[in-house]
Amino acid sequence: MDSLLTAGMLGLVEGLTEFLPISSSGHLVIASDLLGFSGSKASTFEVVIQVGAILAVLVLYWKRFFGLLFPTERSGAFSGIRGIMLLVLTSLPASVLGLLLHGFIKSLFTPATVTAALVCGALLMLAVEHMVAHRQDRMPVQSLDQLSAAQAFGIGCFQCLALWPGFSRSASTLMGGMILGVRREVAAEYSFIAAVPIIIGAAGYDLLKSLSLFSAADVPFFIVGSAVAFLSAIAAIRIFISILGRNTLKPFAIYRLVLAVPVYFFMVR
């Protein structure tokens, strides 16, 4: 595979963008194209290093995951079997659709499709913020413990939009939660936690299907990319939660629209 520097750069892009509503897959497609890193191996690498970013969630939200596996009276309603079932309901729609359309989805990893997704996602984010921005304190769900099974499944349906590279799993989960009555910061926290099962499943499935393409010499490349993704994701999550406490999603929507312009003119046309 390419140099460890390439792995580190892509890991940095992945970690900084995975949990922001700006699309990590879209940024990886753009970065990979600029670095000349393409092909089947590259596509699998871009999926697998997401596991590094996911480890950041496990570290930062370890109490939540501990409560899912070992619930106590202090764990709250989002714990134990109930919490696990909510995550299953959220993961189910995109997992099924992703398995059915796996080959087609991988063919969408191009600058043109990413540009379209960046714009469509941004416009939808602005529309959602316009709908709910002034009633955050009156949202029915003010904590994860108030999340219902119907809302969890509904968020999972919205998460299917993330199968379109460039749309953003974080954005689709956030917007779905807000539309269904979940406070913005709570929707963000749930998007982090809900990412764990679906990304680990997607990465494992993709790696198994592409395992024959790799050799032992590729292991350091994966380790470097995943390690950098892990460290940068920890910083990104903390900063994102801090931003959401003071702002809406509008700055991220504007960023997506601005990014789409050079991507279109320099990489698509």
Structural domain including 24 reads 4-268
Spatial distance between the Cα atoms of 114 and 134, rounded to a whole number of angstroms: 31
- Tens-digit pLDDT profile for residues 127-147: 999 998 778 888 999 999 999
Check residue 181 and give its pLDDT: 95
- Crossing angle of helices 4-17 and 50-60, in 10° steps, is 50
Q: Which is nearest to 228 in space by CA: 22, 38, 28?
A: 28
Instruction: Give the tokens for residue 62.
Output: 């370890």
Residues in the chain: 269
Read off the pLDDT of residues 9-40 as tens digits, 9 standing for 90 and up: 999 999 999 999 998 888 888 898 888 887 77
Question: Which tens digit of pLDDT belongs to each residue from 148-193?
Answer: 999 999 999 999 999 998 899 999 999 999 999 999 999 999 999 9
Q: How far is CA 188 from CA 18, 43, 84, 212, in A?
A: 12, 27, 18, 37
Give the Cα separation of 20 and 97 in Å (integer).
23
Helices (H), the chain: 4-17, 24-35, 40-48, 50-60, 62-69, 80-100, 102-106, 111-132, 149-159, 169-179, 184-210, 219-244, 250-263
Chain-centroid distance of CA 214 in Å reads: 25
Torsion of CA 135, 141, 143, 147, to 10 degrees: -160
Q: Tell me what the pLDDT averaged over the chain comes to.
A: 90
d(CA 237, CA 18): 9
CA distance 78 to 64: 8
pLDDT of residue 5: 92
Q: Is 80 left (phi over 0), alpha (psi -120 to 50) or beta?
A: left
pLDDT digits (tens, 9 = 90+) for 37-66: 877 778 778 888 888 999 999 999 999 999
Count CB neighbours of 203 within 10 A.
20
**Nearest-angstrom CA–CA distance, 170 and 186:** 13
pLDDT at 79 over 90: yes
At 2, is the pLDDT very low, low, confident or very high (cuts 50, 70, 90)? low
CB 119 within 8 A of CB 260: yes
Q: What is the pLDDT of residue 47?
A: 80
Which pLDDT score, from 0 to 100, does residue 43 have?
77
Q: Tens digit of pLDDT for each residue in 185-234?
A: 999 999 999 999 888 887 888 778 777 777 777 888 889 999 999 999 99
216 vs 261, residue with greater confidence: 261
Count up the domains in the chain and report the number.
1
Asked if pLDDT for residue 254 goes beyond 60, the answer is yes
Residue 80: CB atoms within 10 A of its CB come to 16
Check pLDDT > 80 for residue 236: yes
Nearest-angstrom CA–CA distance, 38 and 40: 7
Convert 187-198 into a string of H (helix), E (strand) and C (coil).
HHHHHHHHHHHH
